[in-house]
Amino acid sequence: MNLTRLLNIEHPVVQAPMYGVTTPEMVTAASNTGCLGSLPLGDLPAEKCREIIRTTKQLSGRPFATNLFVNEVPELTIELREKYALTKLFIEGLAKQYDMEVALPGIDELEIGTYHDQIDAVLDSDCKIVSFTFGNLDKPAIRKFKSNNVVLIGTCTSVAEAVLLEQSGIDVICVQGIEAGGHRGAFGSDYIPQIGGLSLLAQVSGTVKVPLIYAGGIYNAKTFQAAKALGAQAVQVGSMLIGSAESALKDFEKQRLTTVKETDIVLTRSFSGRYARGIKNFFTESLDNSDYILPYPYQNKLTGELRKLAKARANVDFVSIWLGQSITGYSRRSTSEILTGLINEIGNV
């Protein structure tokens, strides 16, 4: 199966759906370049999903993917309530050390939905490509998307996950290497497969028959060619776009990218409760290996107001800057210029 034809794109490049970084303008720029733009919906309420999809469609007439989080929500037990209260106090205390007075939400103030709430918003908006991460869609959701001729792209971080996706009828699999920036797409949240990306890609390619996209460390023609040689029909790029003109990162966060070293990039559960790769700071070092990390999405919801305040204060020690292991220079040029440069480089190899 020809993947570029299936996705109706000109180039075998997918812009990563980076929630909190990707904007409608970034998606549009990627799509207009002939790549697949990807719009992350995260845990947005259905009406917000409709709004951001509508905004993106108004900017571009090209096809783009919407991206869903398909994680399970842990049961709200007495133990979880107690741990939430303790974690809330601890994090508020940490913020106070940096003169940031912040009242984090109580557990009963949180609005926690699931991807099922978003499905109709996606279908009503006539989105024909849906990618997803943090697990697999359930059977009713797959049937609903398939009956509406939606192309489904799942995410795997192991061979076993890839097999489950293929057996479920998922059309395309994005293979995410351990070096990739941002949240791990693993089906579980407590344990993550720690398999090098190219080793994983080779194993998945030899196991499943569906087309593969590779994500993790891609930033030039050589890395593209390595992925292609090992079985990928397309690549997904994220970190090389986070400093772009269309990125939602603030100037102080983009400035931090200019000084990042390979030893600064770590896997952490501190901000969200799920493993994600990004730049370590005071907050990650204070929480990792502590008792103050809640399961996703509770940790993510709890720390949201703190991250918002830190952005307003330009405090790099309390924001999550997700980043992969390939340090690239993080150009501030437009997304279209960055992707065009990659495409031209690929074409000359």
- Does residue 246 contact residue 26 with C-beta atoms inside 8 Å? yes
The distance of Cα 243 from the centroid of its chain, to the nearest Å, equals: 16
- Does residue 173 contact residue 166 with C-beta atoms inside 8 Å? yes
- Taking only the tens place, the pLDDT of each residue in 56-72 is 999 988 999 999 999 99
What is the number of other CB atoms lying within 10 angstroms of the CB of residue 95? 22
State pTM to two decimals.
0.96
SS (H, E, C) 239-277: HHHCCCCCCCCCHHHHHHHCCCCHHHEEEECCCCCCCEE
Residues with Cβ < 8 Å from 204, sequence gap 6 or more? 156, 159, 162, 173, 175, 212, 231
Report phi then psi at 260, rounded to 5.
Answer: -70, 140
Domains of the chain (ranges plus CATH)? 1-73+112-239+333-349 (3.20.20.70), 74-111+250-320 (no CATH)
Position 328 scores a pLDDT of 87
Position 122 scores a pLDDT of 97
Token duo for residue 124: 């009503």
Q: Is the pLDDT of residue 349 over 80?
A: no
Q: Is the pLDDT of residue 115 over 80?
A: yes
Position 348 scores a pLDDT of 60
What is the number of other CB atoms lying within 10 angstroms of the CB of residue 86? 12
